[in-house]
């Protein structure tokens, strides 16, 4: 059995190793190995001496965290609300959540300019109602980036969360209620713990995807929100210092792996 | 190890084949180029590739975009299908230093007369484009870069490029440095000027399509743009004064097959002909490197072309070597500046 199972996996495994893992290892190795000079740590040393690149990495983490929290704040209630819908309404809600997936990320990003720009729909409405005199700057700052990233990534959080929520047996909640638990207790003692693994997995996924965002911060951030992938683009395509880019990517990968390890640990503790 | 010896073996095989065919004076019937894409690519198609096809039957396949990183990946992986690669001025110097391009055989190209800066040992300058100041019609008209950066007398939001090599030379001009003394660039002076105006900069643009759109939407009132993005916008105005004249080159990818090179030189010859350049200029308002082009262009449109006499005279060319030496250090300062916005 074991042998046949492996032979099913083998083609994909070979493809992954040859087309994905090997180039990544080569790319990460660039920072340590220079043609004709051999082993070097110079590129990491460069990072420590001029910490500006690491500061950009720190900024990326901060923005990713904000966007992830925004995603949680919107996604959790949304998934919960969808759980309570009737079949047809639920289908429509799922379609609305998934629909943006079919639109190019670039188009969605530019669409926010139409909605949130100084002459955009929201600002025109606010000024028409007299709520504000001057246009509110939604875009070209961290808020614009957060809104854009939350929009793009919402399905990644909502779908696993929704899947976990509809699996929760209503009778569990009814049993708690019949024993006199108030709604708040039912939610925190029963409902929330049952959704926690999906919430953690979805949040982690969203956070890691945030770290690599490129188009959305470049356009909606108006160049004011430096992110690591824009910096890497400069180092790879313009300067080109692949070695430096490789060193930064390695650090980014390690940080991501550490976060993932922390999640695994929490997850195991929770299920034990 | 195995893969490597396979690659070397394949490379040896290909070059042996190349020697043979060079001996037979062969010329490829189909070559590949990597260019910057968009309208610029369409202008290459209409201006140069179509005439070449008619005259010699050589087919040219275009791909885009053309970043230095891509060229480095092409050469380091031993890829030999692409022969022509589009390069900016300083990118050409970088590519030469990194050993990614080969010297051109100018005798084989046998070009029509060209501007001297376009005839480089390693690059054929085929298209001039300009980075200039533009504004919404109705906003007060700046006469030079000092005006453009003067927030008091020329109030309005600004949109500036998120690329230090475009932006910093404009900043030192604003501080009073004349166009012929921009290099060596006083980087500290440039950043000092930027600190003065950064609060009124709404957007630092990354894509060339952004600034013209932001001007049209009245999101900003003044912007640094590529000239070709502004000329067809009736609500916008622009000036070449103090602008950055750029020249895009085609270089030969290192290790290209001789028969591909022979065909590529034929295409470069087409690019030197003013009548072809006039055709290309009907697609995009960027012009070729023939000094005899002006009379072939429509008179009412001369104001918009980077090489029209009155425009070429008021712009500057960057010192590509200076950027190659200092680019990375400047970029670090730039990232630090952006973190403190």
Alpha carbon of A8: minimum distance to chain B alpha carbons (Å) = 25
For residue A215, the distance in angstroms to the closest alpha carbon of chain B comes to: 10
Strand partners, B86: B250
Please name the member of B162, B219, B335 whose beta carbon is closest to the beta carbon of A53.
Answer: B335
Q: Given the DSSP bridges, would you call strands B222-226 and B158-161 parallel, antiparallel or unpaired?
A: parallel
CATH class for the region spanning B129-246+313-339: alpha beta
Helix (H) or strand (E) holding B119: none
Distance between CA atoms of residues A113 and A121, nearest Å: 9
Chain B residues whose beta carbon lies within 8 Å of the beta carbon of residue A119: 217-219
Contacts of B218 in chain A (CB under 8 A): 118-119
Contact A223 B339 (CB under 8 A): no
B158, two tokens: 């600004």
> What is the spatial distance between Cα B155 and Cα B199, in angstroms, rounded to a whole number?
12
- In chain B, residues with a C-beta closer than 8 Å to the C-beta of A224 are 204, 338, 341
Establish if B14 touches chain A: CB-CB under 8 angstroms. Answer: no
DSSP B1-20: -HHHHHHHHHHHHHHHHHHH
Mutation target vs B (from A234, A236, A241, A243; most B CBs, 10 A cutoff): A234
- CB distance A238–B207 less than 8 Å? no
Provide the chain B residues 68-127 that lie in CB contact (below 8 A) with chain A. 68-70, 72, 91, 94
Q: Does B328 touch chain A (CB under 8 A)?
A: yes
Of A55, A224, A242, the CB nearest to B204: A224
User: What digits encode the pLDDT tens for the residues B132-164?
Assistant: 999 999 999 999 999 999 999 999 999 999 999
Q: Do A222 and B94 touch (CB under 8 A)?
A: no
**Across the interface, do A224 and B338 touch by the CB < 8 Å criterion?**
yes
Q: Does B205 touch chain A (CB under 8 A)?
A: yes
Chain B: give the shortest CA distance to residue A47, in Å: 11
Q: What is the pLDDT of residue A234?
A: 86
Residues with Cβ within 8 Å of residue A254, at least 6 apart in sequence: none
In chain A the domains, ranked by start, together with CATH numbers, are: 62-225 (1.10.3720.10)
Q: How far is B239 from chain A (nearest CA, A)?
A: 24
Alpha helices in B224-294 (DSSP H): 258-272, 274-283
Per-residue pLDDT tens digits for B219-231:
899 999 999 999 9
CA distance B271 to B208: 25
What residue ranges do the domains of chain B occupy? 20-128+247-311, 129-246+313-339
Q: Write the residue in B328, B331, B341 that is nearest to A224 by C-beta.
A: B341
pLDDT single digits (tens) B265-298: 999 999 999 999 999 999 999 999 999 999 999 9
Cβ of B68 within 8 Å of Cβ of A238? The answer is yes
Residue indicated by tokens 């008619």: B54
According to the model, what pLDDT value does residue A242 have?
87
Tokens 């084949």, located at residue = B17
A237·B67 Cβ contact <8 A: yes
Percent of residues, chain B, with pLDDT higher than 90: 79
Closest Cα in chain A to B327: A239
> Residue length, chain B?
341
pLDDT tens across the length of chain A (272 residues)? 455 788 889 999 999 999 999 999 988 888 888 777 788 888 888 888 878 888 999 999 999 999 999 999 999 999 999 999 999 999 999 999 988 888 888 888 889 988 998 888 999 999 999 888 888 889 998 999 999 998 889 999 999 999 999 999 999 999 999 999 999 999 999 999 999 999 999 999 999 999 988 888 888 998 888 899 989 988 888 877 888 899 999 999 999 999 999 888 887 877 76
- Give the model's pLDDT for residue B258: 95
pLDDT value at B78 more than 70: yes
Question: What's the pLDDT at A70?
Answer: 94
Q: What is the pLDDT of residue A8?
A: 87
Which is nearest to A164 in space by CA: A45, A37, A76, A272?
Answer: A76
Smallest CA-to-CA distance from B137 within B278, B67, B224, B238 is with B238
Asked if B200 is an interface residue toward chain A (Cβ–Cβ < 8 A), one would say no
pLDDT at B14 over 80: no
The shortest C-alpha distance from B202 to chain A (Å) reads 7
CB B95 within 8 A of CB B71: yes
Which of residues A94 and B9 earns the better pLDDT score? A94
- The answer to whether the beta carbons of residues B43 and B64 sit under 8 Å apart is no
Please tell me the distance from the alpha carbon of residue A157 to that of residue A93, in angstroms, as a whole number: 15
How does strand B201-205 pair with strand A33-34? Answer: unpaired
Interface predicted TM-score (ipTM) of this complex, two decimals:
0.78
pLDDT tens readout for residues B162-199: 999 999 999 999 999 999 999 999 999 999 999 999 99
B20-128+247-311 belongs to which CATH class?
A: alpha beta
Q: Which residues contact A2 (CB under 8 A, 6 or more apart)?
A: none
Query: Which residue of B67, B69, B335 is in closest CB contact with A56?
Result: B335
| Fold agreement between B20-128+247-311 and B129-246+313-339 | yes
* Contact assignment for B69 to A237 by CB distance below 8 Å: yes
- Stretch 117-176 of chain B: residues touching chain A, C-beta under 8 Å: 162
pLDDT number for residue B110:
96
Phi, psi of A142 (to 5 degrees): -65, -30
Q: Give the angle subtended at the CA of A200 by the CAs of A196 and A206, to the nearest 5°.
A: 140
């Amino acid at each position: 059995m074991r042998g046949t199972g492996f032979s099913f996996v083998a083609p994909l495994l070979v493809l992954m190793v040859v087309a994905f893992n090997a180039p990544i290892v080569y790319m990460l190795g660039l920072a340590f190995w220079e043609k004709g000079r051999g082993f070097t740590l110079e590129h990491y040393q460069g990072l420590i001496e001029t910490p500006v690149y690491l500061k950009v990495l720190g900024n990326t983490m901060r923005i990713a965290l904000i966007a992830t929290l925004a995603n949680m704040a919107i996604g959790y209630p949304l998934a919960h609300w969808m759980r309570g819908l009737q079949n047809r309404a639920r289908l429509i809600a799922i379609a609305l959540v998934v629909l943006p997936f079919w639109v190019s990320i670039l188009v969605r990003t530019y669409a926010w300019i139409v909605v949130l720009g100084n002459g955009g729909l929201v600002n025109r409405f606010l000024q028409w109602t007299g709520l504000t005199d001057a246009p509110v700057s939604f875009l070209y700052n961290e808020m614009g980036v957060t809104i854009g990233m939350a929009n793009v990534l919402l399905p990644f959080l909502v779908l696993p969360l929704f899947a976990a929520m509809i699996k929760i047996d209503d009778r569990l909640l009814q049993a708690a209620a019949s024993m006199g638990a108030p709604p708040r207790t039912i939610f925190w003692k029963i409902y929330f713990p049952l959704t926690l693994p999906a919430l953690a997995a979805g949040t982690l996924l969203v956070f890691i995807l945030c770290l690599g965002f490129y188009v959305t911060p470049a356009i909606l951030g108006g160049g004011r929100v430096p992110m690591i992938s824009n910096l890497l683009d400069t180092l790879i395509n313009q300067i080109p210092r692949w070695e430096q880019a490789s060193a930064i990517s390695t650090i980014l990968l390690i940080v991501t792996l550490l976060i993932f390890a922390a999640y695994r640990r929490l997850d195991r503790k929770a299920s034990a | 190890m195995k893969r490597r010896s396979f690659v070397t073996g394949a490379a040896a095989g290909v070059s042996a084949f190349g020697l043979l065919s060079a001996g037979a004076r062969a010329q490829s019937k189909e070559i590949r180029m990597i260019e910057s894409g968009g309208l610029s690519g369409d202008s290459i198609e209409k201006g140069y590739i179509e005439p070449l096809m008619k005259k010699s039957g050589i087919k040219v396949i275009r791909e885009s975009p053309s970043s230095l990183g891509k060229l480095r990946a092409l050469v380091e992986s031993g890829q030999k299908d692409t022969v022509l690669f589009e390069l900016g001025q300083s990118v050409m110097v970088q590519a030469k230093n990194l050993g990614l391009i080969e010297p051109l055989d100018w005798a084989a190209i046998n070009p029509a007369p060209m501007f001297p800066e376009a005839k480089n040992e390693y690059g054929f300058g085929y298209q001039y484009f300009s980075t200039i100041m533009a504004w919404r019609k109705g906003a007060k008209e700046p006469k030079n870069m000092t005006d453009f950066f003067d927030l008091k007398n020329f109030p309005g939001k600004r949109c500036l490029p998120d690329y230090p090599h475009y932006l910093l030379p404009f900043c030192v001009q604003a501080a009073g440095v004349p166009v012929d003394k921009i290099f060596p660039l006083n980087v500290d002076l440039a950043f000092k000027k930027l600190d003065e105006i950064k609060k009124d900069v709404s957007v630092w643009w990354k894509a060339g399509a952004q600034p013209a759109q932001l001007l049209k939407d009245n999101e900003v009132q003044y912007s640094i743009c590529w000239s070709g993005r502004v000329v067809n916008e009736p609500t916008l105005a622009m000036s070449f004064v103090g602008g950055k004249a750029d020249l895009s080159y085609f270089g030969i990818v290192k290790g290209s097959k001789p028969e591909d090179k022979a065909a590529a030189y034929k295409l470069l010859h087409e690019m030197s002909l003013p009548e072809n350049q006039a055709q290309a200029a009907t697609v995009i308002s960027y012009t070729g490197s023939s000094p005899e082009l002006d009379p072939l262009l429509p008179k009412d449109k001369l104001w918009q072309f980077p090489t029209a006499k009155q425009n070429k005279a008021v712009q500057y060319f960057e010192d590509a070597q200076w950027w190659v030496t200092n680019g990375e250090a400047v970029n670090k300062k730039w990232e630090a500046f952006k973190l403190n916005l």
